[in-house]
Amino acid sequence: MNKLTRRFRATDILYIIMMILPISVSIVIKILTTPASEGISISGARIFFRIPAPIQELLITESQVNSAMVILSLFFLCRYLTHGIEEGAWLKRHHLAEILVEKCNAMTVGNMGDYFKNFSPFVAAILALSGFSSLITLFGLYPPTSDVNIVAGWAVLVFILITYYKMKCGPIEYAKSFANPPLMAPLNIISEIATPISMAFRHYGNVLSGSVISVLVAAGLSGLSNLIFGALPGFLGEIPFLQVGLPAILSIYFDIFSGCLQAYIFAMLTMLYISGGFPLELYKERKAKKAQKCRK
């Protein structure tokens, strides 16, 4: 094995370690900070500490920490998938990275048009961050997507982009869009304000409700199992027979399928709202008129 190959493999190992390390740190933090409790417990993200601020205290919560750890893991995952591409030595993971990029580009262009083809990295970031933020429940961690503050932050960012593209033809045209037709102006304004709210609560509500349902079903099956089989002799009466199988099936649906589905829906809504609110034809006409004036 030559020196370059050793260095290449050592870098690969480092990227893999850095992918795993943030999630491992979150698990350790959870173990060390979770108080002992008995029975069913459904609560929001724990507050680790508070930072004094002029208007309101800045709270550092479990969801913020886990979200930062997911971002770090995704960063090093991307570094691992693309490591060595520039050297021309294509590996299986490079082909996987190429497939992911091609699929994301096709999805972005198919839903937003050629004008927004450079939006694919942003769409991919939304999909990955939302999906992996929900999937960390498989490690027993609190999902950031169950915190409305986290998802609302994403929705506000998307709303800023929507407004930016709607105003590319000027603030006057943007204001006119609310009066089309004039009688619907109040409803159009309400609809505009409701866009980030609906995006945030749809994502947050579906992920949180899945977590709550899974906990309630597991607790109910535990009590039912104790009621039916509690009279069995010895340790057999302590085994929660009814908890075998069904909670795992629910976890597959709520933690994996539903989490990935909500990530896809959030990304689709982002693409449709941004491209649907952008008056492309009018924007092209304005650019053509400006170009004619510059020539004169």
CA distances from 250 to 19, 105, 160, 162, 279 (A): 27, 33, 36, 36, 43
Rounded to the nearest 10 degrees, what angle do helices 92-112 and 62-82 cross at?
A: 110
* Half-sphere exposure for 130 (CA within 13 Å, toward CB): 32
| Res 52: pLDDT | 86
Flag whether the pTM goes above 0.85.
no
pLDDT tens digits, residue range 109-130? 999 988 898 999 999 999 999 9
| pLDDT of 4 above 90 | no
* Long-range interactions of 40-46: CB distance < 8 A, separation 24+: 40/215, 40/216, 40/219, 42/212, 42/215, 42/216, 44/146, 44/147, 45/142, 45/146, 45/147, 46/142
47 phi-psi bin (left φ>0, alpha ψ -120 to 50, beta other): beta
pLDDT tens digits, residue range 135-177? 888 888 888 998 888 999 999 999 999 999 888 888 888 888 8
Continuous H helices in 52-170: 62-82, 92-112, 120-135, 148-166
Q: How confident is the model at residue 50 (pLDDT cuts 50, 70, 90)?
A: confident
Strand pairing of 47-51 and 58-61? antiparallel
pLDDT tens digits, residue range 57-87? 888 889 999 999 999 999 999 999 998 887 6
| pLDDT of 39 above 60 | no
Residue 242's SS3 state is helix
Contact of 282 with 169, CB cutoff 8 Å: yes
pLDDT tens digits, residue range 195-230? 889 989 888 888 877 777 777 777 777 777 777 766
**Which residues contact residue 175 at a Cβ distance below 8 angstroms, ignoring those fewer than 6 apart?**
none
